[in-house]
Amino acid sequence: MQTDAQSLSPSTKWQWNKGKIVIESPERPAGQKDVLQLALPKMKTVRVGFVGLGMRGPSAVADFALIPGVEIVALCDYEHDRAERQNATLRKHGLPPAAVYSGEKGYEDLCRRNDIDLVYIATDWDHHAIVAKCALENGKNVADEVPSAMNLEECWELVNLAEQKQLNCMILENCCYDWFEMRTLNMAQHGVFGEIIRAQGAYIHNLDEFWDYYWKNPNGSDPEQLGWRLKYNRENRGDIYATHGLGPVAQALDIHRGDRMALLVAMDTKSVHGKELVEAKTGKPCNDFRNGDHTTTLIRTANQKVIELQHDVMNPQPYNRLYQLTGSRGFANKYPIEGYALDSKQLTASGVQPQVDNLSTHSFMPEAERKALEEKYEHPILKKFGKLAKEVGGHGGMDFIMTARLVYCLQNGLPLDMDVYDLAEWCAIAELSALSMDNDCAPVTFPDFTRGLWNKYQGYRHAYASPEEEAAAEAIAQAFTKASKEATAKLKLWQLYDNVQNAKSDAMKQKAQTALNKAIAKARAIVAKQL
Ligand SMILES: NC(=O)c1ccc[n+]([C@@H]2O[C@H](COP(=O)([O-])OP(=O)(O)OC[C@H]3O[C@@H](n4cnc5c(N)ncnc54)[C@H](O)[C@@H]3O)[C@@H](O)[C@H]2O)c1
């Protein structure tokens, strides 16, 4: 067993008990409160700082730039130009320029600013939890790309910090916001499938076209310059990217809202494709590729449901997140064919009159019935944000819906759709599955990140403001963005920004930067006065 793999944290305590690996859950320190259903005071504006602007981060900046009541305050990437380039998006929308940070520790200065509410993290996996911890320690809410924590130690650190600081630490699981998943969740919550007893989820995505483009850390930690993602797969066994498959089914199964994942067993194939990728890149034999090409994990919940997860980023296969729910009265399946199976009785009981007599669960229901079912259970969140999301795009629009919901919840003082316990439970699969496979596929118990509170709330639900509150928050948000754009134009912030970029000497740059900072402060004061 390789002990320096990041997915195996040094502090995890476990012991054998009746053939199982039992993971210990540390007690909640005295005086520390949970953050279940955490609702912070309404934020009139959401002030955001971004860390990590490679392939993924810029689309998040573009999404936030479209949402009223958002102020993009700071941009940070290890590489200065990647951060600076995002200012073009703000300029395009007439928003004020954002401050730029760079270098390995630039995020520390960003997190120390006193004008940021939310730190949005889209770095490589090594930096997710490091940046998130820094943000929480500095009193900022966190939204962290997947997987937000790479091992149990990082999961516990984020849970503890979120509890100590009473802040949000959300996992950015965009697959929870895809159309089929949202509608199906709505159906599940209305009992369309009866009791859901089994679910499947996966990340099956051949990454051959992407490996070369992942960032290559220049600090010597990636001597063969494999890029962070291939290097991570080489060094770490386990389902290290479980959350796209797990997130949506965990919501449908009410995980830590009445049920909890109790135990898993994992099994992987040998590495063939991964090993070949490294050999092709280095020209040397590779005998230490830890991540099996295809990993399968079976999870059993406290209420005796089963989840099957698969992970394969290596082999040539059609993209597949599986997403399948088996219930006592019906069935839903997304890949490769989207469909539902309900018999006539259950469809009628769900409020949809079948057009044909012979509707049975032996096959997917015909198009007309399916359409009627989907229309009846269209998710309210899709009704609100779906049209704009489709226009904006980004994984078919689900990225925008996630961002719009995050801002909506913060502006309306509501609990976020995914809390730090979701983050920890979903990300824990990496270490737990590695532990299972490193021990002959032994059963491994889950820690309880809620520390006894997984049954306190019954049923996963999205939070909504009343129509009046929602309208009031939207009016403030729109007024803010309008005023901010007007002040940006009036004070010629982009001209001042250009002066900084075009300055011929350090001294001139400094002078131009001071002028820009002053003007930004003045613009903010003007906006504040108007609201
Ligand atoms: N949810 C999704 O659908 C989805 C899709 C793609 C990627 N992702 C996730 O987004 C993250 C980024 O992926 P990517 O494809 O953009 O990778 P990438 O390699 O293109 O970008 C990573 C960026 O992080 C920056 N970075 C590294 N260390 C940093 C530090 N200390 N401070 C500031 N910046 C730092 C790098 O300079 C690089 O620009 C990954 O976690 C990935 O899993 C999620």
Using an 8 Å Cβ cutoff, are 268 and 289 in contact?
no
- The pair of three-digit structure tokens given for residue 313, joined into one six-digit string: 């980023």
User: Is any ligand 1 atom within 6 A of the Cβ of residue 173?
Assistant: no
Cα–Cα distance measured from residue 182 to residue 339, given in angstroms and rounded to the nearest whole number: 14
Render each residue's pLDDT in the chain as its tens digit; 531 residues: 444 577 788 899 999 999 999 999 999 999 999 999 999 999 999 999 999 999 999 999 999 999 999 999 999 999 999 999 999 999 999 999 999 999 999 999 999 999 999 999 999 999 999 999 999 999 999 999 999 999 999 999 999 999 999 999 999 999 999 999 999 999 999 999 999 999 999 999 999 999 999 999 999 999 999 999 999 999 999 999 999 999 999 999 999 999 999 999 999 999 999 999 999 999 999 999 999 999 999 999 999 999 999 999 999 999 999 999 999 999 999 999 999 999 999 999 999 999 887 888 899 999 999 999 999 999 999 999 999 999 988 778 999 999 999 999 999 999 999 999 999 999 999 999 999 999 999 999 999 999 999 999 999 999 999 999 999 999 999 999 999 999 999 999 999 999 999 999 999 999 999 999 999 999 999 999 988
Contacts 24+ apart (CB under 8 A), 463-469: 463/39, 463/409, 463/414, 463/415, 463/417, 464/380, 464/414, 465/408, 465/412, 465/413, 465/414, 469/412
User: Is any ligand 1 atom within 6 A of the Cβ of residue 333?
Assistant: no
Bridge partners, residue 329, by sequence: none
User: Does residue 454 sit within a domain?
Assistant: no
User: Does residue 523 sit within a domain?
Assistant: yes
User: Is any ligand 1 atom within 6 A of the Cβ of residue 81?
Assistant: no
Domain boundary among 131, 146, 174: 174
Cα–Cα distance measured from residue 61 to residue 479, given in angstroms and rounded to the nearest whole number: 20
Amino acid at 78: Y
Cα–Cα distance measured from residue 298 to residue 351, given in angstroms and rounded to the nearest whole number: 34
* Non-local CB neighbours of 412 within 8 Å, separated by 6+ positions: 42, 465, 469, 470, 473
User: Is any ligand 1 atom within 6 A of the Cβ of residue 61?
Assistant: no
Going across the sheet that includes 118-121, the strands are: 99-102, 70-77, 46-51, 118-121, 141-144, 169-171
Going across the sheet that includes 20-23, the strands are: 14-17, 20-23, 444-445, 261-268, 295-301, 306-312, 196-204, 324-327, 330-333, 339-342
User: Does residue 194 sit within a domain?
Assistant: no
Cβ neighbours around 506 below 10 Å, total: 8
Q: Please report which helix (H) or strand (E) contains residue 335, including its range.
A: none
Domain boundary among 174, 203, 227: 174
User: Is any ligand 1 atom within 6 A of the Cβ of residue 147?
Assistant: no
Domain boundary among 150, 174, 198: 174
Question: Nearest C-alpha to atom 29 of ligand 1 is from which residue?
Answer: 78
Output the CA 79–ligand 1 centroid distance in Å: 12
* From 51, 63, 77, mutation site for ligand 1 pocket: most ligand atoms within 8 A of C-beta: 77
Closest CA to 410 of 21, 3, 38: 38
User: Is any ligand 1 atom within 6 A of the Cβ of residue 399?
Assistant: no
User: Does residue 121 sit within a domain?
Assistant: yes
Q: Give the residue ranges of DSSP H helices in 2-137.
A: 57-65, 80-85, 87-92, 106-112, 125-137
Cα 179 to chain centroid distance, Å, stands at 16
Output the CA 126–ligand 1 centroid distance in Å: 10
User: Does residue 437 sit within a domain?
Assistant: no
User: Is any ligand 1 atom within 6 A of the Cβ of residue 521?
Assistant: no
Domain residues for the domain of 152 are 33-174
pLDDT of the residue at 4: 54
Phi first, then psi: what are they for 457, rounded to 5°? -110, 135
Query: Looking up tokens 């969140």, which residue turns up?
Result: 381
Question: Nearest C-alpha to atom 7 of ligand 1 is from which residue?
Answer: 56
User: Does residue 223 sit within a domain?
Assistant: no
Positive or negative torsion for Cα 427, 246, 37, 66 = positive
User: Is any ligand 1 atom within 6 A of the Cβ of residue 64?
Assistant: no
User: Does residue 525 sit within a domain?
Assistant: yes
pLDDT of the residue at 256: 98
Ligand 1 atom index nearest CA of 106: 32
Which of the 8 DSSP states describes residue 29? Answer: P
What CATH number is given to the structural domain containing 131?
3.40.50.720
The total number of structural domains that make up the chain: 2
pLDDT of the residue at 10: 86
Output the CA 80–ligand 1 centroid distance in Å: 14
pLDDT of the residue at 356: 82
Closest CA to 307 of 421, 425, 192, 194: 425
User: Does residue 214 sit within a domain?
Assistant: no
